[in-house]
Amino acid sequence: MRAVACARTLAWPRSSSVGTTAAPPHLPSAPTHLPPGHPASLSSRPSQGAGYLKEQLPGAHTAIGENVKAVQAVFKGIFNIGDDELPADGSAFDMLLADGQEVPLGDLTIRVLHTPGHTPACVCLHVGDAVFTGDTVFMPDFGSARCDFPGGSATDIYRSITTKLFTLPDETRVFVGHDYPPEGRGVEFETTVAAQKSSNKHLGGGVAEADFVKMRSERDATLNPPKLLLASLQVNLRNGQLPPPESNGTSYLKVPLNVI
């Protein structure tokens, strides 16, 4: 409800342009990636999550990085999802965002930064003096996102952070997608590029690529899969929609027993 109220308060324009193509009337939902471990929408009601925003805001569209197609292709195979049910072309989403693309948002402009590593589809969204990093970097005392999901790459995330995020002005505000505070610190969500460059525990102070990749790969090898991995992927691949109901009217989530 807060998201809907915020969107209505912004009174986003019903028509605008993105490059040479027509932009959606509204852009209420632009996820930074297709999250492997938590659901964008997991409910018996298909109108939850992104679908709920579209229902409440007529004409609203959802957008995601164009490389979501690669993620869909991988997991369609794992879950044996046919092309007739879910083509791996990103068409489950209304708008696919390319690196460097600019999307108008009222008086603001969203600039898309393709930042693969956590997944191949990850993007960061640069808006004015702020950047929304999703699962790329976290607060400096926690470091960076894991890179062991299919298509993930410690090398890619290092280069994404150092060549895309660390080249923004030092004063740029960084809004992280999650926070895992150490004992004694409350939850935080905002830092700066300068703070990340100087004190990020994984990359700060000019850590070399080889050293980062070694650290990240060794750490990822110790991590358990997210608890909701299998359930959330099957929903998120479909832009927050449940799988289509079977002949009895019930939707089912699959558990592949000998793959993951």
- Domains for the chain: give ranges and CATH numbers: 2-236 (3.60.15.10)
pLDDT, residue 32, reads 56
Average pLDDT, the chain: 84
pLDDT, residue 67, reads 94
Judge whether 26 and 53 are in contact, CB under 8 Å: no
DSSP 8-state secondary structure symbol assigned to residue 215: H
What percent of the chain stands above pLDDT 90?
65
Minimum mean pLDDT range among 11-15, 57-61, 117-121, 217-221: 11-15
Minimum mean pLDDT range among 27-31, 101-105, 127-131: 27-31
Say how far residue 49 (Cα) sits from the centre of its chain. Answer: 14
> What is the rounded CA–CA span in Å between residue 162 and residue 141?
17
pLDDT, residue 185, reads 94
62: pLDDT confidence band, cut at 50, 70 and 90? confident
The 10s digit of each residue's pLDDT in 18-60 is 332 333 334 445 565 555 545 454 333 333 466 677 778 878 8
pLDDT, residue 30, reads 57
Stretch (H or E) spanning 52? helix 50-56
Judge whether 87 and 105 are in contact, CB under 8 Å: no
Amino acid sitting at position 6? C
Average the pLDDT over 72-86 and give the result.
94
Residue 169 predicted with pLDDT over 50: yes
Amino acid sitting at position 253? L
Minimum mean pLDDT range among 17-21, 69-73, 77-81, 165-169: 17-21
pLDDT, residue 1, reads 53
Residues, the chain:
260
The 10s digit of each residue's pLDDT in 80-100 is 999 999 999 999 999 999 999
| Interior/surface letters 206-239, b for 16+ CB within 10 angstroms, e for the rest | eeeeeebbebbeebeeeeeebeebbbbbbbbbbb
Amino acid sitting at position 20? T
Q: Higher-confidence residue: 213 or 58?
A: 213
Residue 139 predicted with pLDDT over 50: yes
Stretch (H or E) spanning 111? strand 108-114
